[in-house]
Amino acid sequence: MWSYLISTIELYSNHKSFSLGIDTLRNLWLLLHFKDLEIKNKTIYYQVDNGIRQRKKTKHPIRKMRKAHKNTAELIEYLSNKSYNILKLELEFTNGWKIKQRAYSELMFYTNSTDERNQLILKLLNIAGQGPINVSKLEINYTYYFKSAVTLVKVNFYDIPSPDEFWSEEQVAEWRRDVEAIDRLNEVEETEPYVYSESELLDMKKMFPNWDGESEPF
């Protein structure tokens, strides 16, 4: 169950940007907190979705929004009257900040400095009733999920940092090689035969009296 507005946080390697795990389908209102900033540039792709009233076979075309909006308040007001599914959203503000939506599950924020990044993180966490957290203790390019409102747990799937858009091609290529090596190592570990303990062997022999003890019993 989603008990927290912000489910994850990840800092990016340029030390000015970060992403937050947010259900953007339901929480695009968060953009209203940026209503004082002027929109310089935007890329929005949307698709009409009439919900339960829409026939299953009906598929509306994906369109690019051309209407200009000065700020996020105008944009949200406009969207409130529409039944649009926002497929892609990228906003660039005149102060240099950027916000991008990723796959309905993440909002990425780009600021101008580390201080601005840290202040924005704390502001957004405050809005969500979460935190405060010590941002300086977070490792770059690792995702942390909120176990509670203030407790973060590091997601460490491959035990190496995950790439972001600020990595060079060489860094990404090296990361791919590392991931492939880890995958190969995991595959080898998985294919190694399982050694049964003595008690397990006794149980198996009770269940399968004709089993020779070496081949797979199933």
User: By the criterion CB under 8 A, which residues form the site for another protein?
Assistant: 1-5, 23, 25-29, 32, 49, 76, 79-80, 82-85, 128-130, 147-150
Edge-to-edge strand list for the sheet holding 17-21: 62-64, 39-48, 84-93, 98-102, 106-110, 17-21, 8-11, 143-146, 152-155
Choose between 84 and 175: whose C-beta lies nearer to another protein.
84
DSSP letter, residue 64: E
Positive or negative, the Cα torsion across 133, 138, 140, 145?
A: negative
Residues 93/33, Cβ–Cβ less than 8 Å: no
Could you tell me the smallest distance in angstroms from the CB atom of residue 183 to another protein? 27
Could you tell me the smallest distance in angstroms from the CB atom of residue 49 to another protein? 8
Could you tell me the smallest distance in angstroms from the CB atom of residue 98 to another protein? 20
Choose between 83 and 114: whose C-beta lies nearer to another protein.
83
Choose between 29 and 208: whose C-beta lies nearer to another protein.
29
Choose between 25 and 172: whose C-beta lies nearer to another protein.
25
Which phi and psi (to 5°) does residue 12 adopt?
Answer: -100, 165
